[in-house]
Chains A and B, each alone.
Chain A
């Protein structure tokens, strides 16, 4: 089954404790991205990757890191989480760059930083 898988689904952590949210897709998509969803603000792009070893900042990259060492994986790293990073996070992949093709979303990760 074609899918995007995120883990974990729920995470509560403390300020400053490094964490990683994993994202994996099995559709051989070139383009992957991370979004955060906050009430009234919709989906805001954090980082995106056009292909292996190619990553770029989205609209809200501060406080986040990503890597794309393999085509299927695109982990999101919070080196020193802060309470303002409490949010719902979605990973997505699509066949080609930008939004030129349908984006497939993971199940979401609800992160709480206390």
Chain B
């Protein structure tokens, strides 16, 4: 069945450095690629998303890039801050309206 791989599973960066998380998928019919942030003990919340007709999207310090040919999309966080520490999930909609989330990346920003 459909699968989403997410790497790395854990990531530690120094405050101010950049962080990159990558997801790869196999369903070529997927056309919506969101990223969710889940702080400890809280619910996941959307931080940025991209649709298949766009290659890159930025929102202040975060950006998402999409390569539909290679079937991968990435989350980029620049100038990381301690409050960026959380678990990040990529997700995509499948051709049957099911939803698949990646396994998550635990990001730690070290002050």
* A and B form one complex: yes
Listed in ascending order, the chain A residues whose CB lies under 8 Å from chain B are 31, 33, 35, 40-45, 48, 50, 56, 58-59, 90, 97-103, 105-108
B15-67: which residues lie under 8 A (CB-CB) from chain A?
A: 31-32, 34, 36, 43-46, 49
Q: Are B89 and A42 in contact (CB under 8 A)?
A: yes
Q: Are A98 and B32 in contact (CB under 8 A)?
A: yes
Q: Are A33 and B99 in contact (CB under 8 A)?
A: yes
Q: Are A107 and B43 in contact (CB under 8 A)?
A: yes
Closest to A107 in B: B43
Q: Are B100 and A97 in contact (CB under 8 A)?
A: no
Query: Interface extent on B, as a size class?
Result: 20 to 34
Tell me, rounded to whole Å, the shortest Cβ–Cβ distance linking B2 to chain A: 9
Given contacts A58-B98, A59-B100, contact A103 B46 (CB under 8 A): yes
Known: A48-B98, A99-B32, A99-B93. 18 other contacts (CB 8 A): A33-B99, A40-B9, A40-B103, A41-B103, A42-B6, A43-B101, A45-B101, A56-B97, A59-B1, A59-B100, A97-B97, A98-B94, A98-B96, A99-B99, A100-B93, A102-B49, A103-B91, A103-B99
Q: Are B103 and A45 in contact (CB under 8 A)?
A: no
Q: Are A98 and B101 in contact (CB under 8 A)?
A: no
Please, how many angstroms separate the alpha-carbon atoms of A106 and B43 in the complex? 7
Tell me, rounded to whole Å, the shortest Cβ–Cβ distance linking B101 to chain A: 4
Most buried by A among B89, B99, B101, B104: B99
